[in-house]
Amino acid sequence: MFNIRSTIDPDVCDDGYQCNQHDNSAVGMVYAKERLSILRKAEIRKFGDDDIQCTKYKKVGTSCQVICGDDHKNLENCVENDCIKTLEDFELGKVPYAKDDGEGNFKYSTAGWDCAQQMKPRPDHHSFRKVEFWIDYKAASASEAAMNILYMLFICLIFALSSLVFMMDLNVLVIEPVENMSAAMQLVSEKLLDLGGSGDGGEAAYIESSILKIVSLLKVSFGDAGTRIIANNMTADSDTIQPMVPGVKVFGCFGMIDIREFTATTEALREKVTIFVNEFGEINHSRCKETGGSPNKNVGDAFLCVWIDKDGMAPPADDVLACYRRCIQDVRQSEQLAELIELHQIKERFPPKQQEFGKYRARHGCGLHYGMAIEGAIGSARKIDASYLGPDVDLSDVLEASTKVYKVPILVSQAFYNELSENIQKGCRKVDRVKVDGIAEPFNIYAPNVANVDGNFFDPSIVEDVYEIELSDEQTVALTFGKDGAEDPRENDERWRLFVDGWNEDFEAAVESYLDRDWDAAKTQLLECLSSRPWDGPSLKLMAYMRQMGSPQGWQGFAELL
């Protein structure tokens, strides 16, 4: 297997053993048994022990000699003899050698080297104790390298063809559509709306930014209910609104608020009136969303919000009423409104001496009703409003307008009152029985109790505990992990007691006398109520109505609300 290129002393080996004097060439060199064992182990460490080698032997005198076949090339033609028996002999036998006379010395055989040279191990060389070993595997390596180059060229060709096919599809399916969308977004920016897209992230980032802004604007424009309405009016095979689509009947709570003295306020504030109106809108819409409602319609100084039934269940009317209680408290505490009403234009338009409470206050009224409406898109393909139609929606507007007559901030219909929990009902008082056009039967109206200062419900000094209970971090952790003894304060909210007013009992007794046509008793009872609260709006309204009617004779048992 090895070509030994150097020689050592022919008489004495390097480790002191006596060498054979007859074969002093490199191939006939005699080595000690230990030296051959070390060389073989070095070969195994270097090349492994899997290469096919000459392990066929023939008895030659008293020694075993490694030989090959006649052609000295085909290793399988070697003849095996049984002269090698032990594992050590077998290991040593894998190296061409001739066993000596039993004194522990070994000699290489020329036949053995010829056989080993046919094996051509991998190209490499190493040296050991003045002996250099050179192994030539050039032809096989060159062949293997040529095949590797061919494989690499073939793979590169496959990659090139695949990339070409991929780029063709990429251009048709991705690049051209993206460029078209980018051009469309730029057209929108130039003709309709500046989307403010940035080109820093490329066309994809610009399109993403533009689409998100368009979606955001549509959601703000339509509102939650409007999004559903528009979706119902869009057909799968059309990209335009189909206004001639029937609406959908829905049930829910409808709340309408209106800003007081809006026309005069607009004259005073002029350009800043939008800030004034939008502050009311922000307060109303944020509280509406907070309680599960949907802001729907803005009509100048009025805002409509809806709470639609879900899964056949009416929305929690308690939360709807809480929404408008919070709106009143927000208006009281609004820094933006307080800053605007201090402008000299407001003071000039609303002289303090002419104001009911000595100073102009930002105020609004609210009407609440529960009933049925038609949900649909109103308008044409050129301009639509997603809204609700029906007498029940209009009734919330009528109730809001009536708050000016009864001088209360909130009026609710009997249908809405019936949806309230028993505890919340205790914080409301019946103020009249009325009839409204479009509603078949007369019904009672109620005024929820709201804190005030001598009838001024929007005095900034008033602070009502009407906001949602906020849990501390400790309570949140305890409730989340079900800690023993943890209680949710929101489930046992006793703040409804703050709105219960014993004075209401005397007032409602007067209302019952009024509805029973015992107006003399009603007047007496109302006067007693006014003695402690001379500013009470519902009491003053009923007294004025009875004076106007004169007597209950011919009275139908209700008042007309216009």
Q: How far is CA 271 from CA 142, 268, 275, in A?
A: 89, 9, 8
Q: What is the pLDDT of residue 237?
A: 57
- What value does the mean pLDDT of the chain take? 76
Question: Residue 69 in 3-state DSSP?
Answer: coil
The string of pLDDT tens digits covering residues 13-67 is 444 434 443 443 333 344 444 555 555 555 555 555 443 343 444 444 444 444 4
Helix, strand, coil percentages in the chain from 3-state DSSP, rounded to 5: 45, 20, 35
Q: Does the pLDDT of residue 4 top 70, yes or no? A: no
Q: Does the pLDDT of residue 394 top 50, yes or no? A: yes
CA distance linking residue 223 with residue 307, whole number of Å: 13
CA distance linking residue 552 with residue 239, whole number of Å: 62
Residue-by-residue DSSP string for 378-391: EE-SSSEEEEEESH
CA dihedral 285, 287, 288, 290 (to 10 degrees): 120
Question: Residue 374 in 3-state DSSP?
Answer: strand
Q: Does the pLDDT of residue 531 top 90, yes or no? A: yes
Q: What is the pLDDT of residue 312?
A: 77
Q: What is the pLDDT of residue 18?
A: 40
Q: What is the pLDDT of residue 98?
A: 40
**Angle at CA 506, nearest 5°, toward 501 and 511?**
115
Contact partners, residue 39, CB within 8 Å, separation at least 6: 31, 95, 128
Q: How far is CA 281 from CA 146, 217, 286, 463, 523, in A?
A: 80, 17, 8, 21, 40
At residue 310 the predicted structure's pLDDT band, cuts being 50, 70 and 90, is: confident
Q: Does the pLDDT of residue 172 top 90, yes or no? A: no
Q: What is the pLDDT of residue 199?
A: 52
At residue 224 the predicted structure's pLDDT band, cuts being 50, 70 and 90, is: low
Residue 25 CB neighbours (<10 A): 11
Residue 541's φ and ψ, nearest 5 degrees, are -65, -45
Question: Residue 308 in 3-state DSSP?
Answer: strand
Question: Residue 476 in 3-state DSSP?
Answer: helix
Amino acid at 237: D
Range ranked top by mean pLDDT from 101-115, 317-331, 463-477: 317-331
Q: What is the pLDDT of residue 212?
A: 74
Q: What is the pLDDT of residue 29?
A: 40
Q: What is the pLDDT of residue 238?
A: 60
CA distance linking residue 299 with residue 304, whole number of Å: 8
Question: Residue 368 in 3-state DSSP?
Answer: strand
Give which of 249, 237, 254, 240 is closest to 379, Cα–Cα.
240
| Of 81-95, 139-153, 241-255, the least confident | 81-95
Q: What is the pLDDT of residue 458?
A: 96
At residue 483 the predicted structure's pLDDT band, cuts being 50, 70 and 90, is: low
Query: Which tokens belong to 203?
Result: 């066309």
pTM score of the predicted model: 0.64
Q: What is the pLDDT of residue 201?
A: 59
Q: Does the pLDDT of residue 278 top 50, yes or no? A: yes
What mean pLDDT is predicted for residues 82-110? 41
Q: Does the pLDDT of residue 131 top 90, yes or no? A: no
| Of 225-239, 287-301, 532-546, the least confident | 225-239
What mean pLDDT is predicted for residues 422-434? 96
- 237 DSSP 8-state letter: T
Amino acid at 206: Y
CA distance linking residue 280 with residue 263, whole number of Å: 15
The string of pLDDT tens digits covering residues 326-384 is 999 999 999 999 999 999 999 999 999 899 888 999 999 999 999 999 988 787 777 77
Give which of 140, 89, 106 is closest to 18, Cα–Cα.
106
At residue 390 the predicted structure's pLDDT band, cuts being 50, 70 and 90, is: very high
Instruction: Give the relative orientation of helices 537-549 and 503-515 as an angle to the nearest 10 degrees.
Output: 20
Residue 416 CB neighbours (<10 A): 26
Q: What is the pLDDT of residue 204?
A: 64
Q: What is the pLDDT of residue 45?
A: 54
CA distance linking residue 235 with residue 401, whole number of Å: 39
Query: Which tokens belong to 431?
Result: 């103020």
The string of pLDDT tens digits covering residues 227-252 is 666 666 665 456 666 666 788 899 99
**Which residue matches tokens 């001639």?**
244
| Of 168-172, 436-440, 455-459, the least confident | 168-172
Number of alpha carbons in the 13 Å side-chain half-sphere of residue 370? 17
Range ranked top by mean pLDDT from 118-127, 481-490, 496-505: 496-505
Q: What is the pLDDT of residue 469?
A: 80
Q: What is the pLDDT of residue 516?
A: 94
Which residue did the predictor score with more confidence, 87 or 272? 272
The string of pLDDT tens digits covering residues 451-460 is 999 999 999 9
Question: Residue 27 in 3-state DSSP?
Answer: helix
Q: What is the pLDDT of residue 166?
A: 84
Given a contact cutoff of 8 angstroms between Cβ atoms, the answer to whether 79 and 42 are in contact is no
Which residue did the predictor score with more confidence, 167 or 384? 167
How big is the chain by its Cα radius of gyration, in Å?
A: 51
**Angle at CA 321, nearest 5°, toward 315 and 325?**
150
Which residue did the predictor score with more confidence, 522 or 42? 522
Which residue did the predictor score with more confidence, 201 or 543? 543
Residue 260 CB neighbours (<10 A): 17
Instruction: Give the relative orientation of helices 176-191 and 202-232 as an angle to the nearest 10 degrees.
Output: 70
Strand (E) or helix (H) holding 107: strand 105-107
CB-count exposure of residue 433 (10 Å: 0-12, 13-18, 19+): middle
CA distance linking residue 220 with residue 380, whole number of Å: 20
